[in-house]
């Protein structure tokens, strides 16, 4: 599904297996009638346990336009393994308006602010082969009781 969800980076199968196993408690899978329609991979950075970092959000073509990505983000922040996180971060390129809209809408629903700053720069980090990745920071995340 990641490979079919441009502009996401197609990670190796090994990377995806690690996400599904080692980070299973901070990931969300959406299915309908046994078909995988959505996936969020995320993790709590060990150096910043107050954060949840969203690695990738993918929605299958069959489910686009249904608000699934937003519902999966809401589910993510309600997971027990995410409790206590006060900040959600992710990286997005400028050329990805769908992701900016998704995370902007999430911040508004949560009554939080969204700020952005350069995280990985095109020239310095990617030798010109990949667009600059901007860090989107959404805070504060309200406490969710489970």
Q: Is residue 2 part of a domain?
A: no
* Statement: residue 69 has pLDDT above 90: yes
In a domain, 5, yes or no: no
pTM assigned to the model: 0.85
Q: Would residue 145 count as lying in a domain?
A: no
Q: Is there a domain that residue 76 lies in?
A: yes
Q: Given a cut of 70, is residue 88 above it in pLDDT?
A: yes
C-beta separation of 122 from 54 below 8 A: no
93/114 Cα distance (integer angstroms): 15
Which helix (H) or strand (E) is 74 found in, with range? helix 68-78
Percent of the chain that is helix, strand, coil (3-state, to 5): 35, 30, 35
Band the pLDDT of 72: cuts 50, 70, 90.
very high
Residues of the domain holding 53: 13-139
Q: Number of folded domains in the chain?
A: 1
Q: 4: pLDDT confidence band, cut at 50, 70 and 90?
A: low
CA distance 140 to 93: 23
The predicted structure's pLDDT at residue 8: 56
Q: Cα separation of 134 and 116, whole Å?
A: 6
The pair of three-digit structure tokens given for residue 146, joined into one six-digit string: 């489970």
pLDDT (tens digit per residue) in 12-52: 677 777 777 888 999 999 999 999 999 999 999 999 999 99
Q: Label residue 59 by pLDDT band (50, 70, 90).
A: very high
Banded pLDDT at 53 (limits 50, 70, 90): very high
Tell me what pLDDT residue 1 has.
57
pLDDT tens-place string over residues 92-134 = 999 899 999 999 999 999 999 999 988 777 677 677 777 778 8
Assign residue 104 the CATH number of its domain: 3.40.630.30
């Amino acid at each position: 599904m990641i490979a079919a969800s441009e502009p996401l980076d197609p990670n190796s199968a090994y990377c995806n297996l690690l996400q599904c196993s080692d980070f299973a408690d901070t990931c969300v899978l959406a299915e309908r009638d046994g078909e995988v329609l959505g996936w969020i991979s995320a993790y709590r950075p060990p150096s910043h346990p107050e954060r949840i970092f969203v690695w990738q959000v993918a929605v299958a073509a069959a489910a686009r336009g249904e608000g699934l990505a937003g519902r999966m983000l809401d589910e993510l922040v309600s997971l027990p393994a995410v409790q206590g996180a006060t900040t959600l971060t992710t990286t997005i390129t400028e050329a990805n308006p769908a992701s900016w809209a998704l995370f902007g809408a999430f911040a508004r629903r949560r009554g939080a602010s969204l700020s952005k700053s350069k995280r990985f720069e095109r020239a310095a980090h990617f030798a010109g082969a990949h667009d600059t990745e901007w860090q989107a920071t959404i805070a504060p995340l309200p406490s969710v009781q489970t």
